[in-house]
A = this chain, B = another copy of it.
Amino acid sequence: MLTARNGNLCAVADTLHLSADPVDLTAALVDVPSVSGDEAELADLVERSLREQAPHLEVVRSGNSVLARTNLGRAERVVFAGHLDTVPINDNMPSRREGDVLHGCGTVDMKGGDAVMLHLAATLREPRHDLTFVFYDCEEIEASRNGLGRVERDLPEWLRGGLAIVCEPSDGVVEAGCQGTIRVEVRTTGRRAHTARGWMGENAVHAMGEVLRRLQAHETRVVEIDGCTYREGLQAVKITGGVAGNVVPDECVLTVNHRFAPDRSPAEAEAHLREVFAGFDLVVTDFAAGALPGLSAPVAKELVAATGGTPVGKLGWTDVARFAALGIPAVNFGPGDPTLAHTQQENVPVSQITGCVDVLRRFLA
């Protein structure tokens, strides 16, 4: 099939070869652009391939999300989740293989993980637990459009299970739970005046000095839960103030992002910030709860055993928190270095893709 894309004609596969090499499958997924909001073509391809090549699965479509599951009557069910969308392409398409490394937009975040899921969906015909696979849209943009949220509202039974595995990049190790995040604006106010008569005013930018001093003096917590270490963070991410080159500023706004370990709720995190910045005006602009690692669940222990390694705490926020909020233990487990996500030079060692397949096959076969 030939389609016009960005003014060029390029070949797009009619189908994906789900049972063949998961590295080739990753490359094929990368080569179908799917920037958030524009996932229809890739969702069509995923749906068609699953219906054709995995007749043992029940497949449904919800918007640009594709859901598939076994119905084997097993005592336990494991839910896999992977988003189909990517951040905007940045001169890093199509995919390019150099030796043992695959380069391109989405190789890390997270078409490598999608390929692992699709390969297992097609090839694990008799898994020891029932399996659900959720390929969803719009993860990289505002939370209100997140496809997993839509599935949660419209098809809630599709998210139920004893363990959720979000195949976001985790360098091929189990990253358990996730930290919460809260952003606040700290505001100082003053009084405008001409700088030629500066003493008639009150400088709001100068007043912010004390807030920055407290930030620098702040000691972040390091928390251990279920053997996983969570290291909190408190960082100024933006500062603005100023009226004109000859005016004493009457307002300065500092945005602070606090990452907090999952033993604290967003309300507790806010209370902590109000303590740190006592005496200053503080407004919460957004937050997301963290997720406890949940590694005490037997099925989670089986997964950890299959990896043969030690789980670590997830520091970034991911959709595992949605599962945690539903009472489902959830971990991140996928190929790729998460620090390369959203960068132009995204790339994944192909051994991590096949390594993740091997671990999960060992866990589920």
Contacts and interface: CB of A to CB of B under 8 A. Distances in A.
A179 B236 CA distance: 36
Contacts of A245: 183, 237-238, 255, 257
A212 interface: yes
B198 A209 contact: no
Interface string A21-41: 000000000000000000000
Nearest to A252: B239
Given A198-B259, A245-B255, A255-B245, A239 B239 contact: yes
A179 B203 CA distance: 20
A236 B259 contact: no
A205 B212 contact: yes
A213 to B, nearest CB: 5
Nearest to A216: B206
Nearest to A183: B245
A179 B208 contact: no
Name the interface size band of chain A: 35 or more
A359 interface: no
A217 to B, nearest CB: 9
Interface stretch (A6-14, A62-70, A93-101, A189-197): A189-197
A304 interface: no
Contacts of A197: 233, 315-316, 339
Nearest to A233: B198
A166 to B, nearest CB: 15
A160 interface: no
